[in-house]
Amino acid sequence: MQDDASATTPAFPARRAWLWQPNLIVFVSSACIMILELVAGRMIAPHVGVSLYTWTSVIGVVLAGISLGNYLGGRLADRWASLRLLGIVYLFAALTSLVVLYVDRTYRLTPDDWSIVVEIIALTAAMFFVPCTLLGMISPIVAKLAVSDLATTGSTVGKIYAAGAAGSIVGTFATGFVLISWFGTYTIVWGVALLLGALGLFFFLAGRWQAALFAVVIIVGGSALASNQNWLRGPCVRETNYYCIKIYDTQEGDEPVRQVVLDHLVHSYVSLTNPRTLIYGYEKAYAEVAAYRAARDEHMSFLMIGGGGYTFPRYVDAVYPGSDVHVVEIDPGVTQVAYDLLALNREAKIVTYNEDARLFFARAPTMQYDLVLGDAFNHYAVPYHLTTQEFNDRVRAWLADDGLYVINLIDGPRGEFVRAYFHTLRQTFRYVYLAEGNYDWRKATRSFFLLIATDTPLDTAEFAHLDAGDGDALLARLLADDAEVNRLLTEAPLVLLTDQYVPVDQMLASVHRDEAPPE
């Protein structure tokens, strides 16, 4: 019969004890899990966008993988705990991490008729569930190997848990604040895979000198091979902390234009030669609003929330050359791409503030804008802190007495978001107007809407004479009459969006799910 001491003897040779650092091992594996979790949100964004559903799926899938890994790792540890088992788990974690890059290059994994929520969960699980499960197996195996004295089991396991938590913290901060902006997601995933592979060989060979040699060969040779084969080049022209920015050359009619894609959304069409070219309907509506305001004074003070491809700021600068044109764009990478690839002239009078619009408007006003355009809503991924009454009050403080605040947004056939936003704007502005981008929007899965807020009533008859140069008086056709506005506001309870209550993601849930219009 074995005594307690022999039953708890570590399953590795004493002469290899120098490589056995359980707290460091768990620290590294936990850091890798959080690195993959942060990277997951960025990598699936070009496929399905960024939303509450995206991060809910990422967090849920990663936690499910860790939980299953903890269970399986514990079962395996009770039977076969050894450095060799640990090495095998690390090697498989490295291999499945590389599979992430392969899956990411696959155009589509799910059928076209699957809802967006199911698609997000399926894509996230296909890419990250298995590597997170394998990495979750490491902690219980290490804990089993680390316990050499039953009298100190609690402190040993406690240190391992603490090391894992510390690794998670370091991995989170390093990825979010440094790694993504410095290296990009593909290089990060490749680096994680190489590190795991090197550790796997090191433990599998129990720390022999050959293990160290193989580890160096894997890291150096793997990096060289990936660089030579362009395996580290993802789909992005530039990857920032906010977006995967992609640029495509295409044709609109007879004119060549450059298409700007932020994550999965075609955000802008930009003519490199003619800044007056506008493709999107809402941009043409913006142009008509600008013409309406410029009829009083062509020297406008203009501010745009969200730069994108800088299509409309370039338009205003070209059509109203004496105007002050300002842009608040949170992502400096978007602005840099506009200068480098989208013909934004550095000599133009367009002034950019690379910061969150909420922070910009929180300051005491330094000027009064005649026209503020909101274009920061990325499809139905909405920065909700820009939709509240408190934010509207700050915008109003920066507007001239007869200034206009115009917002473009997307909503579905239930109109929950546009109804709440309209009602919220009316708490700050005396007059709010609604332009419906689709006559039959209650029969469509999604439509664009334009909201115009002001303290001075619009002469809506004037819009019949404004056409943005294309012969189509768009706003005159799209402006909803009083009866339609009253129907929108009375067909469901009104919700006031405030900093304390702003359920925008829930209001757009049916749009995310591509739900059919109600009967």
Q: List, in sequence order, every residue forming a beta bridge with 352; answer none if it has no partner.
A: 327
* pLDDT at res. 380: 62
Is residue 428 a part of any domain in this protein?
Answer: yes
- Residue 506 sits in a domain whose CATH number is 3.40.50.150
Hunting for tokens 């592979």 — which residue is that? 197
SS3 call for 206: coil
Using alpha carbons, select from 74, 106, 111 the residue that is nearest to residue 89: 74
286 shares a domain with 222: no
Please, what is the Cα angle at 16 between 13 and 17, to 5 degrees?
Answer: 95
Residue 144 CB contacts under 8 Å (≥ 6 apart), including other chains? 74, 77, 78, 81
Instruction: Tell whether 208 is covered by a domain.
Output: yes
Residues 123 and 45 grouped into a single domain: yes
Final residue before a domain boundary, out of 235, 250, 272: 235
Other residues' Cβ atoms within 10 Å of the Cβ of residue 126:
18
Same domain, 83 and 202: yes
In a domain, 23, yes or no: yes
Residue 172 to residues 103, 274, 389, Cα–Cα distance (Å): 23, 44, 33
Vertex 338, ends 334 and 340: CA angle to 5°? 115
Name the domain boundary from 217, 235, 253. 235
Same domain flag for 350 and 440: yes
User: Looking at the structure, do residues 206 and 92 belong to the same domain, yes or no?
Assistant: yes
Same domain, 117 and 60: yes
Polymer length of the chain: 519
Distance between CA atoms of residues 10 and 395, nearest Å? 65
Query: Rounded to the nearest 10 degrees, how much is the dihedral formed by the CA atoms of 108, 114, 117, 118?
Result: -80
Per-residue DSSP letter, 498: B
* Pair 195, 321 in one domain: no
* DSSP of 111-155: -TTS-HHHHHHHHHHHHHHHHHHHHHTHHHHHHHHH---GGGHHH
Interacting residues of 228 by C-beta distance below 8 A, sequence separation 6+: none
**Can you tell me the distance from the alpha carbon of 181 to that of 74, in angstroms, rounded to the nearest whole number?**
37
* Buried residues in 234-248 as b, exposed as e (16+ CB within 10 A): bebbbbbebbbbbbe
Taking the model in full, what pTM does it have? 0.81
252 within domain boundaries: no
Judgement on whether residues 333 and 395 belong to the same structural domain of the protein: yes
Q: How many helices (H) and strands (E) does the chain have?
A: 20, 11
Beta bridge partners of 374: 305, 407
242 within a domain of the structure (yes/no): no
Domain count, the chain: 2
DSSP 503-516: -HHHHTHHHHTTPP
The answer to whether residue 241 sits within a structural domain is no
* 476 shares its domain with 382: yes
pLDDT of residue 424: 98
Claim to verify: residue 189 and residue 302 sit in the same structural domain: no
What is the C-alpha separation between 467 and 287, in angstroms, rounded?
8
* Cα–Cα distance for residue pair 261/279, rounded to 1 Å: 15
Residue 298: C-alpha distances to residues 48, 288, 290, 319, 322 (Å): 41, 13, 9, 9, 7
Backbone angles phi, psi at 256, to 5 degrees: -75, 135
Indicate the angle between helix axes 185-204 and 209-228, nearest 10 degrees: 160
pLDDT score, position 14: 44
Q: Would you say residue 388 lies in a domain?
A: yes
Cα-to-chain-centroid distance, residue 407: 21
CATH number, position 80: 1.20.1250
- The residue type of 483 is A
Phi, psi of 220 (to 5 degrees): -70, -50
Q: Is residue 245 part of a domain?
A: no
Identify whether the C-beta of residue 110 lies closer than 8 Å to the C-beta of residue 122. Answer: yes
Closest CA relative to residue 205, chosen from 84, 351, 287:
84
Q: Kindly state whether residues 144 and 206 are assigned to the same domain.
A: yes
| Domain range enclosing 100 | 4-9+18-235
Instruction: Give tens-digit pLDDT for 54-97.
Output: 888 999 999 999 999 999 999 999 998 888 899 999 999 999 99
pLDDT in 10s for each residue of the chain, 519 residues: 444 444 444 444 443 554 568 899 999 999 999 999 999 888 887 777 777 778 889 999 999 999 999 999 999 999 988 888 999 999 999 999 988 888 887 766 666 667 777 888 888 998 999 999 999 999 999 999 888 767 778 888 899 999 999 999 999 999 988 888 888 888 899 889 989 988 888 888 776 656 667 667 766 776 666 666 566 666 788 888 888 888 999 988 788 999 998 887 788 899 999 999 999 888 999 999 999 999 888 789 999 999 989 999 999 999 999 899 999 999 999 999 999 999 898 888 899 999 999 999 999 999 999 999 999 886 667 888 999 999 999 999 999 999 999 999 989 889 999 999 999 999 999 999 999 987 788 888 888 899 999 999 999 999 999 988 888 899 999 999 999 999 999 999 999 999 999 998 888 877 776 666 666
- As given in the structure block, the two tokens for residue 107 are 């155009």
Structure confidence by residue, pLDDT tens digits, 256-290: 999 998 887 788 899 999 999 999 888 999 999 99
Among 166, 127, 43, 142, residue whose Cα is nearest residue 87: 142
Q: Are residues 196 and 339 in the same domain?
A: no
d(CA 40, CA 57) in angstroms, rounded, equals 10
